[in-house]
């Protein structure tokens, strides 16, 4: 088998999906399965569908088109606003688009009209994380304008937190979104079928507080990696190892730890000096920053990541490893996203675990951190 490659265990993704769908359905919340970290993989999408998601979502049109071309019939949501130029393609492959600009609404309206369809819009609301969405005070006006626009329907409201500024989903901001949905009903007479509260970072909120009007969460990381993005703590009862990055060794030699010669900046800025520890076994693996975020790799026992340049991952190992030896790494979200996007990393699907052994406990409210240690946001512990 060629490497570097990502091995994907679809049975684990299906299991994680079903566990989260079941848990949230008890709260009246549906799951939109988000595929973007897998470059819109139809296989991963099918595992999510088998696990019970109501819809699939992706931020990239190309990924949604890949799902459609693979014959997937599940309703699709475009999670990042299209440009006006992309309206045609958005309307052709998605049933819902998340939007925040009236120019985009107009373009989608025109495209839907030409196609003879009604396109659903989810108006995104800015609730503090300072990424996409109209300000709360403008929701009524923009909602009203959308309701007067032909060929589109205001299908719902949505918000996204914890992605740019790290704002935590809470009873406060989720209550605000619910109240806005109620306001739209009271003032515009529109019963919104969809109120989408956010992403995987909303799980702790969803399991601790009443959901109000929120009836959808868009889940990627929690399904794929089984962890809570607010803390990167594994969600107990979920698999955290559905993805494995397998990389071949190309050199493994005894070398000093300290560089020799005057030093300046390295290829990616000022290198962190590892200190003088004598001679170690330095092993190079054939992957680099072009293909993966080296900070997001979890090496196996006895292996540590020392550095990475464009094409080389510099490791310390306990023994010399023959060229071609494969080393297996766990990945965090950032590493997964980049590795799935690299044309130099192939993807294979594990078939050995169609019936995964159940993790020790099934996910439960008590097993999720109800008060995540936000002050202590250590990087992914895998
Ligand atoms: C990526 C994305 C999601 C999913 O986020 P996860 O943290 O992976 O669950 C949800 N909504 C939007 C708008 C996104 O871009």
Q: Tokens for 236?
A: 């107990």
To test ligand 1's pocket by mutation, which of 34, 160, 380 has the most ligand atoms within 8 angstroms of CB?
A: 34
| Position with higher pLDDT, 376 vs 297 | 297
The ligand 1 atom nearest the CA atom of 132: 13
In angstroms, the CA 307 to CA 272 distance is 8
First to last CA, the chain: 25
In angstroms, the CA 363 to CA 200 distance is 14
Domain boundaries, the chain: 10-225
> Smallest Cα–Cα separation from 4: which of 329, 337, 332, 380?
329
In angstroms, the CA 241 to CA 350 distance is 12
The ligand 1 atom nearest the CA atom of 217: 10
336 C-beta closer than 6 A to ligand 1: no
User: If 0-12 CB within 10 Å is exposed, 13-18 middle and 19+ buried, where does residue 148 land?
Assistant: exposed
Residue with tokens 């393609």: 89
Specify the pLDDT at position 143: 98
pTM (2 d.p.): 0.92
User: If 0-12 CB within 10 Å is exposed, 13-18 middle and 19+ buried, where does residue 260 land?
Assistant: exposed
Model confidence at 381, in pLDDT bands (50, 70, 90)? very low
In angstroms, the CA 198 to CA 374 distance is 18
- Region 182-190: mean pLDDT is 98
Residue-wise pLDDT for 232-264, tens only, equals: 999 989 999 999 999 999 999 999 999 999 989
Specify the pLDDT at position 355: 52
Is residue 317 predicted with pLDDT exceeding 90?
yes
Specify the pLDDT at position 203: 97
Specify the pLDDT at position 350: 83
Contact 48/14 with Cβ under 8 angstroms? yes
Question: Separation of 377 CA from ligand 1 center, angstroms?
Answer: 19
Specify the pLDDT at position 278: 95
229 C-beta closer than 6 A to ligand 1: yes
Q: Tokens for 119?
A: 């396109």
Is residue 24 predicted with pLDDT exceeding 60?
yes
- What is the Cα Rg of the chain in Å? 23
220 C-beta closer than 6 A to ligand 1: yes
| Position with higher pLDDT, 369 vs 109 | 109
Model confidence at 119, in pLDDT bands (50, 70, 90)? very high
Is the peptide bond preceding residue 3 cis, with omega within 30 degrees of 0? Answer: no
Specify the pLDDT at position 364: 41
59 C-beta closer than 6 A to ligand 1: yes
Round the average pLDDT of the chain to a whole number and report it. Answer: 92
Residue-wise pLDDT for 48-89, tens only, equals: 999 999 999 999 999 999 999 999 999 999 999 999 999 999
Q: Whose CA is nearest to atom 5 of ligand 1?
A: 199
Specify the pLDDT at position 271: 81
| DSSP calls for 258-319 | S--S----BTTBSPPP-----EEEEEEES--TTT--GGGEEPPTTEEEEEE-SS-EEEEESS
94 C-beta closer than 6 A to ligand 1: no
Give residues with Cβ within 8 angstroms of 375, minimum separation 6. Answer: none
- Region 307-334: mean pLDDT is 98
Model confidence at 351, in pLDDT bands (50, 70, 90)? low
Contacts of residues 104-111 at CB distance under 8 Å and 24 or more positions apart, as own/partner, are: 105/145, 105/146, 105/149, 105/152, 106/149, 107/82, 108/82, 108/151, 108/152, 109/149, 109/150, 109/151, 109/152, 110/151, 111/87
Instruction: Say which CATH topology domain 10-225 has.
Output: TIM Barrel (3.20.20)
3-state helix, strand, coil in the chain (%, to 5): 30, 25, 45
Share of the chain above pLDDT 70, in %: 91
To test ligand 1's pocket by mutation, which of 77, 199, 223 has the most ligand atoms within 8 angstroms of CB?
A: 199
- Region 33-56: mean pLDDT is 98
Is residue 186 predicted with pLDDT exceeding 90?
yes
218 C-beta closer than 6 A to ligand 1: yes
Question: Separation of 34 CA from ligand 1 center, angstroms?
Answer: 7
């Amino acid at each position: 088998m060629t490497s570097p490659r990502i091995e994907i265990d679809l049975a684990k993704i299906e299991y994680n999906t079903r566990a989260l769908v079941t848990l949230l359905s008890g709260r009246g919340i549906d799951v939109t399965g988000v595929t973007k970290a897998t470059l819109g993989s139809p296989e991963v999408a099918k595992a999510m569908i088998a696990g019970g998601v109501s819809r699939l979502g992706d931020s990239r049109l190309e990924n949604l088109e890949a799902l459609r071309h693979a014959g997937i019939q599940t309703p699709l949501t475009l999670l990042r606003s299209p440009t006006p130029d992309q309206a045609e393609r958005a309307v052709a492959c998605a049933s819902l688009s998340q939007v925040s600009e009236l120019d985009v609404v107009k373009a989608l309206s025109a495209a839907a009209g030409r196609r003879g369809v009604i396109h659903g819009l989810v108006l995104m609301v800015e609730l503090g994380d300072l990424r996409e969405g109209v300000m709360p005070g403008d929701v009524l006006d923009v909602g009203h304008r959308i309701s007067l626009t032909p060929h589109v329907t205001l299908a719902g409201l949505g918000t996204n937190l914890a992605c740019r500024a790290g704002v935590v989903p809470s009873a406060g901001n989720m209550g605000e979104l619910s109240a806005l949905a109620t306001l739209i009903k009271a003032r515009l007479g529109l019963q919104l079928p969809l109120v989408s509260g956010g992403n995987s970072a909303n799980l702790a909120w969803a399991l601790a507080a009443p959901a109000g009007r929120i009836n959808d969460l868009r889940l990627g990381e929690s399904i794929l990696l089984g962890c809570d993005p607010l803390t990167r703590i594994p969600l107990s009862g979920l698999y955290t190892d559905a993805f494995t990055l397998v990389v071949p060794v190309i050199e493994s030699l005894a070398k000093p730890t300290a560089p020799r010669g005057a030093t300046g900046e390295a290829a990616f800025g000022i290198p962190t000096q590892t200190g003088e520890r004598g001679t170690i076994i330095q092993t190079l693996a054939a992957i680099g920053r072009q293909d993966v975020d080296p900070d997001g790799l979890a090496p196996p026992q006895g292996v540590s990541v020392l550095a990475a340049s464009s094409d080389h991952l510099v490791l310390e190992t306990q023994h010399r490893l023959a060229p071609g030896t494969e080393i297996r790494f766990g990945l965090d979200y950032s590493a997964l996203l980049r590795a799935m996007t690299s044309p130099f990393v192939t993807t294979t699907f594990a078939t050995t675990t169609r019936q995964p052994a159940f993790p020790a406990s099934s996910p439960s409210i008590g097993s999720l951190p109800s008060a995540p240690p936000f002050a202590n946001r250590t990087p992914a512990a895998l």
